[in-house]
Structure 1
Amino acid sequence: MTPDIPLTRDLVLIGGGHSHALVLRMWGMKPLPGVRLTLVNPGPTAPYSGMLPGHIAGHYTREELDIDLVRLARFAGARLILDAAEAIDPQARRIRVGGREIAYDVASIDIGIHARMPDIEGFSDHAVGAKPLDHYASAWERFVERAAAGEVAPEVAVIGGGVAGCELAMAMSHRLRTAGCTPKVTLIEADAALTGFSGRALSRVRRALGRLDVTVKTGTVVERVTADGVQLAGGTHLRADFTVGAAGAFAHGWLADSPLPTTEAGFVRVGPTLQVEGHPELFAVGDCAHLVETPRPKAGVFAVRAAPVLLHNLKAQLAGGTNRTFRPQKDFLKLVSLGGKSAIATKWSLAASGPLLWQWKNRIDQKFMDRFRHLPEMKPEPLPDPVAEGVRAELGDAAQMLCAGCGSKVGPGVLGAALERLGHRDMRDDVLTGPGDDAAVLDIGGVRQVLTTDHLRAFTEDVGLFARIATVHALGDVWAMGAEPQAALVSVTLPRQSEALQARAMEEILGAVDDVVSGEGAQVVGGHSTMGRETVLGLTVTGLLDRDPITVEGAKPGDVLILTRPIGTGTLLAGEMQGVARGRDVADMLERMARPQGAVAAALGAAHAMTDVTGFGLAGHLAAICRASGVGAELVLDDVPLYPGARDLAARGIRSTIHAANAAAAPVAGQGDGAAYALLHDPQTAGGLLAAVAPGDVAACLSGIAAAGETGAVIGKIVAGHGVRLA
């Protein structure tokens, strides 16, 4: 039997640029055992720069432009921290990310550049830089919609007459034309001529600009950007409702201000092995780096070519080995889009243009993106032969992994039978509630205390985010009973790893737990830790009651059902594990799951009955209210909020491990949308609160939920009878 390999080294990739994306793909195919790999990026996707002009022109959707970093990180076995790096301490080897610190043994920086122009007055308030690409692309989409609707004039100013400025000016003019507008696009360049093109290429570009009626102003300096245009040197005001900066590359502020060796412009100085000068454990690639010995222009081709060398050298630094030298080519083929589906190819002094060259460029770009759309299938280890009877039936599809979070709970039927046997025992006088899945109520010297416990298998490699969500999840029973959180005990299981990595993981986990607990007015008072096969976090939480507890027993016919969060977490998490969920959907869901619900619970203080929706799904927890209260319930399926992406995954047959057991334990009568119906039994982690509220209190409850920054949904009502059915 092969022993588990302990984790001993932390590798952190800062930024989801092209080099890092390729490194992650190659790492997933051949990882270095013993390394914990982390990717830090502000968002769940990374746009591919080669297809940006095509997207701006309307040839590609945003999804076609984006590399899904959530899927890629899962494939690479990396934890993904969705936040922006803010500072780096190369001596302590720590990176500040969104208010917490991430430690590293080896790290690499690939955060690109920005094109915001701080020296131009008003730019930050009234213009957008062509980079970061995602900000520009989003702002452009909103502008095109408004221009097509006649809300703004289709007038655009592009600052910078280099390759990027010319390409984007043509793309924007083309897009506005196809949207039914008559565009007025002006390209402004401070130099006497457009830059970045040879003589032959320049003449072709000028003709293409002319065909699209792009006005070119060379030898013109922009002094100020205003809400309605740009002020040029000499006092001329150029009208524009959309201004974009494409003149030059600027380093991100936190990197330029860091203690790392940088150029005057703020780019990190690296040697031929891509290591930062004076810091062999730190690498930098892409546009944010400056190759000291072989300087090159800022172009994606160099980042792509650097990726194999970066991967080799990262592994050499982590495991001991010899570094390789990166030798960038002196020149490269430029393929520049000309607005429509035509392009110009230029290298050295040669140039050619036409639709065939756009098709060539499109094939190159699609081939690059296909590396991430169709990740290699890494088949799991086959089952040994023979195995005990029942093993194959229990596993079902060999590709089906055991879900994490609440998807891995024991089924409600099994748990209910076990609790029923406990319920026959005599209760102590100071224990006010019997065994159940929710919190217990104790009498402590005349003070009523709520006591609950919960634990979860990790569903994300970001242990800090996981700890926040697990804490919110554990507090759910306390909030649902109308209690105020008091204290928490924490139980942590970590995979086998070195003491240094243990300390880093515990710092992140306990910091996140304490942040949530203390933010709710409670205190972490202790706990327990151990090492095992995977990360597991449990919390035992107490709360104090200054009123009668809200339980599942008080619902009355006529009560309105309010749900405070969408459902679908189990399906999305299962889809993410299988590599079929959209990264943006997963990221949006995790962000909402991490929000505490204390203020939301307070807004539902008038509820007759309430519970948190967790592992047994919306139908299961609503059925528990019905059984305890002796009533029935009607759900309006179309009114049940769903997390984006959950319905599509459910329609594809994606189910969490416990789904079948949930459906068997709490059937819902009636028919409706099959995918939405299936989600009624989907296990929820850090799910919303489900409350039965008198009709006269609904408006106040919804208003209070909104004031807490959340959205409550009316999803049905309590009726006479029994069981749950669709209205």
Structure 2
Amino acid sequence: MMQSAAPLSRDLVLVGGGHAHALVLRMWGMDPLPGARLTVIDPNPVAPYTGMLPGLVAGHYRREELEIDLVKLARFAGARLVVGAATRIDTEARCITVAGRGEIAYDVASVDVGIHSGMPNLPGFAAHGVAAKPLGPFAQAWDGFVARVAEEAAAPQAAVIGGGIAGIELALAMAHRLQGAGARPEITLIERAAEIAPDAPVARARLLAALRGYGVQVLTGAEVRAISRSGVEMADGTPIPAGFVAGAAGARAHPWLAGSDLPVTEAGFLRVGPDLRVEGHETLFAAGDCAHLSHAPRPKAGVYAVRAAPVLRDNLRAALSGQALRPFHPQRHYLKLISLGRKSALAEKAGIAFAAPLLWRWKDRIDRKFMAKFDPLPEMPEPEAPRIAALNEKTAQEPLCGGCGSKVAPEVLSGMLAAQGGAARPDILTGPGDDAAVLDLGGVRQVLTTDHLRGFTMDHGLMARVAALHALGDIWAMGACPQAALVSITLPRMSEVLQARSMSEIMEQAGDALRAAGAEIIGGHSTMGAELSIGFTVTGLLEGDAMTTAGARPGDVLILTRPIGSGTLLAAEMRGQARGGDIRALWDVLATPQGDAAAILSDARAMTDVTGFGLAGHLWAICRASGCGAVLDPAAIPLFAGAEALAATGLRSTIWAANRRAAPLAGAGEDARAALLHDPQTAGGFLAAVASDVAGDRLRALRAAGHDAAIIGQMEEGAPGVRLQGVAQP
């Protein structure tokens, strides 16, 4: 991915990761517009390709085969991904409200959020039914139902409400999947109209034959009264037993759009003109199923979003740069390839229909060709790395990690700190080396720490929240209550308008995290530079003695409150190698405060937070300060999802080699788990040495509070050092 050196001056925001936007992101990555900052907002780190949904339900595809990884795609496009749900667009203020994140400003924006097939007015559907769209919740619920049927914990009974093409494909796919699992399925297709397939009448006879072949019961002219735990209740009182009820009765607009003051159809879809601009709004565009082509109405189908993508990309660039826009001319007819459960399909176009297994292979080839646009993404030339004196070729070209992966090497830092040791002062109670300094201010004990992080995501709000919680970790680790904070921000070069927008996002998220911990931002400093970095100097107040790395005793149990592997995952994400779902899960953990975990461990004998020097390095610090050894059980250490597999490929964070030299491990091999012991952690968990008789209680309390904590080893007699072997769990 090549990024423009031009200062950022305009904000383009894509709301939703639908098919059109996914293609726009891909095209943008291959040819970005200099000076434009691109943002994509979506509730999920992946976007589904719904054309393969029937194949997924039938068991022909794995779920990951029809997911577009928005994390990788955003990185390729040079875009920042904000994982959150848009709830409002204010076209006057030009901002988009995102749940839990506040407002994201734009100069030009586009909406491609798809549709849903929920049935909000049907009693019981919200509690006991599942909408076929969006795909994510549906796929998870369906997989769970199939597993229960396989375990004979549920009867193979399902119902589909809606007898259009989508509902027919689902009913056939469900029957095929359950038959393949060894069950005798009872599938019911329910349609209010007098006949099924109103949008493909020429194919109706063939579709009815396919349904009969799978034993699907078809009810037409049928009204549903309610959904319950046991199934569907019809208007005439007839019960339809079903442990899984799918809603596929038409396309519905998302309520936040349908209920907005934007120009929408009676059904709630955004009205757009030939240039894909929302009617009456020069800087707002829309595409995909959430949009209604006022100049050329068409049914809801992904083929139109795919065809619209190049026009949308061109018009977004034109709107940002003051150029002329071009119209979108959708095709009048398109080929419908309808899945028939097994690997067979029916084709319908312009009044002609025919079925054959060859058609399924054709459809499969078309679908896979589309998905191949996003995995792998095109190889783009990188700028040639400069040759730097005294650095080897590998070091000069290796990307510098973000977060704690970009820290100065341990031996460099320890040498610098040792050189600072001067005459003791009565008001400075601790010297360099602890998590935070302890000061005596007229009888009041205050702790003081500073931390800053190099940007690992272009989402400034997320980055600010994680950086604030990362800095608070030192305060919590020493048993203090957070008090006040100074913020230090370096922004990339950008216009004053974008500076203000970025600062607003940063301060809102950082302020929220700090206030929730009991601290207030009281000042700070900002500047512009080559890239984003955010740091905090934080103070805290102590009621008693500070918790330090000294004090651990042989026999103490080691508790870790959070998985490790964040450095490897963040390094992989920067290289476009990490799975979006794993990164989203990591971000969620890093953005979670740990003050409650510190309170649970308030009686620990020694504690520190695991950050840049890795688990091994921070355990070595406890061993040195406490004058004893430690034994770790690698198998007991929790890891972030995806980290071990990435480490097994040889992927390492920038500081890994220096961490390994500084904290040798006796008995360590070359496997991925051993490598992750030196992985630098951003906003890492607490490592505490706890008396053995209370360790079990503390672990249970941590897990009850939602922390993925574990007992990972114990302290032992001997010279300071760390060795690896299995440890009996108390």
Q: Work out whether the TM-score is over 0.5.
A: yes
Tell me which moved more, 119-128 or 601-610: 119-128
1:679 aligns with 2:680: no
1:166 to 147, 168, 171: 168
| Cα separation, 2, equivalents of 1:720 and 1:36 | 56
Match of 2:280 among 262, 278, 281: 278
The separation in 1 between residues aligned to 2:589 and 2:703, in whole angstroms, is: 14
* Structure 1, unpaired ranges of 5+: none
Q: Contact 1:702 / 1:711 at 8 angstroms: preserved in 2?
A: no
Q: CA deviation at 1:697?
A: 1.6
Counterpart residue number, 1:302: 304
In structure 1, what is the Cα distance between the partners aligned to 2:121 and 2:517? Answer: 44
C-alpha contact 2:567 2:681 (8 A) present in aligned 1:
yes
* Contact 2:117–2:133 (8 Å) recurs in 1: yes
| Shift of residue 613, structure 1, vs aligned partner | 0.2
Matched AA of 1:274: L
Q: 1:420 aligns with which of 385, 395, 418?
A: 418
Aligned residue pairs total 721
Amino acid at match of 1:525: I
Distance 1:394 1:234 in 2: 74
Identity of aligned residues (%): 60
Mapped pair 1:187 → 2:189? yes
Contact residue 637 and residue 672 of structure 1 kept, 8 A: no
Segments of 5+ residues of structure 2 without an aligned counterpart are 726-730
Segment drifting more, 87-96 vs 67-76: 87-96
Match of 1:453 in 2: 450
Partner-residue secondary structure (3-state), 1:371: coil
Moved more, 663-672 or 246-255: 663-672
What residue is the counterpart of 1:724 in the other structure? Answer: 722
Are 1:198 and 1:348, in contact at CA under 8 Å, matched by a contact in 2? no
What's 1:51 paired with? 52
Matched, 1:148 2:145: no
The offset of 1:4, in angstroms, is 3.7
The DSSP-based 3-state class of the residue aligned with 2:401 is coil
How many angstroms apart in 2 are the aligned matches of 1:180 and 1:660? 52
Distance 1:394 1:179, change over 3 A: closer
Q: CA deviation at 1:126?
A: 1.2
Give the equivalent residue in structure 2 for 1:714. Answer: 711
Local SS of the residue matching 1:619? helix
Q: Which residue of 2 aligns with 1:315?
A: 317
Alignment partners' CA distance in 2, 1:91 and 1:393: 52
2:395 counterpart letter in structure 1: L
Corresponding residue number in structure 1 for 2:40: 39
- Which residue number corresponds to residue 211 of structure 2? 209
Q: Structure 2 counterpart of 1:389, which letter? A: A
Q: Which amino acid aligns with 1:298?
A: K
Relative to structure 1, is the Cα distance of residues 3 and 92 closer, same or farther in structure 2, using a 3 angstrom cutoff? closer
Question: Aligned partners of 1:198, 1:478: CA distance in 2, in Å?
Answer: 65
Q: Structure 1 stretch 275-284 or stretch 437-446: which is displaced more?
A: 437-446
1:577 aligns with 2:574: yes
| Shift in Å, 1:470 | 0.5
CA offset at residue 200 of structure 1? 4.2
Aligned-partner SS, 1:276:
coil
- Counterpart position of 1:401: 399
What residue number does 1:658 align with?
Answer: 655
Cα offset, 1:673, TM superposition:
7.0
Matched residue of 1:102: which SS?
strand
Q: Contact 2:563–2:708 (CA<8 Å) still a contact in 1?
A: no
Q: By how many angstroms is 1:703 displaced?
A: 3.0
- The residue that corresponds to 2:514 in the other structure is 517
Aligned-pair distance for 1:708?
A: 2.7
Tell me the residue number matched to 1:251: 253
1:305-454 matches, within 5 Å, as 305-383=307-385, 387-393=387-393, 395=395, 398=397, 400-423=398-421, 425-436=422-433, 438-454=435-451
Q: Give the CA deviation at 1:437.
A: 5.6
Which of 630, 633, 636 matches 2:633?
A: 636
Q: Secondary structure at the match of 2:282?
A: strand
CA contact (8 A) 2:558 2:711 kept: yes
Task: Say whether residues 1:233 and 2:231 are aligned partners.
Answer: no
Q: Displacement of 1:193 after TM fit?
A: 0.8
User: Equivalent residue for 1:290?
Assistant: 292
- In the alignment, which of 139, 142, 163 is matched to residue 141 of structure 2? 139
Q: Distance in 1 between matches of 2:419 and 2:90?
A: 57
TM-score by length of 1: 0.98
The 1:388–1:641 alpha-carbon spacing in structure 2 relative to 1, beyond 3 Å, is: closer
In 1, Cα distance between the equivalents of 2:141 and 2:545?
Answer: 51
Deviation at 1:699, TM superposition (A): 2.4
Asked if the contact 2:434/2:549 (under 8 Å) is kept, the reply is: no
Q: Deviation digits for residues 538-567 of structure 1, max 9, x if unmatched?
A: 100000000111100111000000000000
- Whole-angstrom distance in 2 between the partners of 1:726 and 1:673: 13
User: Does the alignment pair 1:471 with 2:471?
Assistant: no
Partner of 2:594: 597
Q: Say whether the 8 Å CA contact 2:410–2:658 is kept in structure 1.
A: yes
Task: Report the Cα distance in structure 1 between the residues aligned to 2:405 and 2:243, rounded to whole angstroms.
Answer: 49
Of the structure 1 ranges 113-122 and 621-630, higher mean CA displacement relative to structure 2 is found in: 113-122
Change (3 A) 1:691 1:388: closer
**CA contact under 8 A between 1:571 and 1:682: conserved in structure 2?**
yes
Structure 2: distance between partners of 1:98 and 1:383: 40
Code of the aligned partner of 2:19: H
Q: Distance in 1 between matches of 2:668 and 2:342?
A: 49
d(CA) in 2 for partners of 1:95 and 1:170?
40
For residues 296 and 176 of structure 1, what CA distance do their matches in structure 2 show?
35
CA drift at 1:33: 0.8
Shift in Å, 1:197: 5.1
Kept after mapping to 2: 8 A contact 1:407/1:657: yes
Equivalent residue letter for 1:724: V
Contact 1:158 1:244 in 2 (8 A): yes
Counterparts of 1:616 and 1:3, CA distance in 2: 33
Give the 3-state SS of the residue equivalent to 1:365 in structure 2. Answer: helix
* Alpha-carbon displacement from aligned partner over 1:70-107 (angstroms, at most 9, x marks no partner): 00000001000111011111111111102311111100
Is the 2:253–2:269 Cα contact (8 Å) retained in structure 1?
yes
C-alpha distance in structure 2 between counterparts of 1:545 and 1:283, whole Å: 54
Distance 1:119 1:641 in 2: 44
**Aligned partner of 2:298: which letter?**
R
Q: Do the aligned residues in 1 keep the contact of 2:435 with 2:478 (CA within 8 Å)? A: no
CA 1:196–1:363: 2 relative to 1, 3 Å:
farther
> Counterpart of 2:399 in structure 1: which amino acid?
M
One-letter identity of the residue aligned with 1:310? L
Alpha-carbon distance in 1 for matches of 2:620, 2:13: 46
The residue identity in structure 2 corresponding to 1:471 is A
- The amino acid of 2:377's aligned partner reads L
Q: Is the 8 A contact 2:435 2:477 kept in 1?
A: no
Deviation at 1:706, TM superposition (A): 2.7
Shift of 1:124: 1.3
Structure 1 contact 606–697 (Cα < 8 Å) conserved: no
**C-alpha separation in 2, matches of 1:348 and 1:38:** 40
C-alpha distance in 1 between matches for 2:374 and 2:441: 58
